[in-house]
Amino acid sequence: MANTNRQLILHSRPKGLIAPSDLQLAEASTPALADGQALARVKYISIDPTMRIWMAADSYLPAVAIGEVMRAFGFAEVVESRHKDFKKGDKVVGLTGLQDYTLIDVADKRGSFQKVPPVPFISDTAFLGVLGINGLTAYFGMMEIAKPQKGETLVVSAAAGATGSIAGQIGKIHGCRVVGIAGGPEKCRWLLDDLGFDAAIDYKQPDWKDKFAAATPKGVDIDFENVGGEIMHSVLDRMNLHGRVVLCGLISGYTKEDPGLASFVMVLVKRLRVQGFIILDYTHRYMEAATQLGKWKMFGKLKDRETIVEGLEKAPEAINMLFTGANIGKLLVKV
Ligand SMILES: NC(=O)c1ccc[n+]([C@@H]2O[C@H](COP(=O)([O-])OP(=O)(O)OC[C@H]3O[C@@H](n4cnc5c(N)ncnc54)[C@H](OP(=O)(O)O)[C@@H]3O)[C@@H](O)[C@H]2O)c1
pLDDT tens-digit series, residues 8-42: 999 999 999 999 999 999 999 998 899 999 999 99
End-to-end Cα spacing for the chain: 15
Range in 103-117, 149-163, 221-235, 284-298 the model is least confident about: 103-117
- Tell me the β-bridge partners of 220: 239
The reply to whether ligand 1 has any atom less than 6 angstroms from the CB of 161 is yes
* Position in ligand 1 atom list of the atom nearest CA 252: 31
Cα–Cα–Cα angle for 157, 155, 144, nearest 5°?
95
Instruction: Say how many Å lie between the CA of residue 259 and the centre of ligand 1.
Output: 14
State mean pLDDT over 231-257. Answer: 96
Q: Is 155:179 a contact under the CB 8 Å cutoff?
A: yes
Instruction: Say how many Å lie between the CA of residue 23 and the centre of ligand 1.
Output: 21
Q: What single-letter DSSP state applies at residue 190?
A: I
User: Residue 93 burial by CB count (10 A; 0-12/13-18/19+): exposed, middle or buried?
Assistant: buried
Q: State residue 111's pLDDT score.
A: 64
Q: State residue 107's pLDDT score.
A: 80
The reply to whether ligand 1 has any atom less than 6 angstroms from the CB of 277 is yes
How far is CA 288 from each of CA 121, 161, 281, rounded to the nearest angstrom? 19, 23, 14
Coil, helix or strand for 256?
Answer: coil
The reply to whether ligand 1 has any atom less than 6 angstroms from the CB of 168 is no
Mean pLDDT for the chain? Answer: 95
Q: State residue 278's pLDDT score.
A: 97
86-89 long-range CB contacts below 8 Å, 24 or more apart?
86/38, 86/40, 86/113, 86/115
The reply to whether ligand 1 has any atom less than 6 angstroms from the CB of 249 is yes
Q: State residue 119's pLDDT score.
A: 83
Strands (E) located in the chain: 4-10, 23-29, 37-46, 73-81, 91-94, 101-105, 113-115, 153-157, 177-182, 199-202, 220-225, 239-247, 273-276, 306-310, 330-334
Instruction: Say how many Å lie between the CA of residue 240 and the centre of ligand 1.
Output: 24
Residue to substitute in 163, 204, 231 for testing ligand 1 pocket (most ligand atoms within 8 angstroms of CB): 163
Write the pLDDT tens digit of every residue in 69-80: 999 999 999 999
Coil, helix or strand for 26?
Answer: strand
The reply to whether ligand 1 has any atom less than 6 angstroms from the CB of 278 is yes
Q: CA nearest 192: which of 301, 219, 201?
A: 201
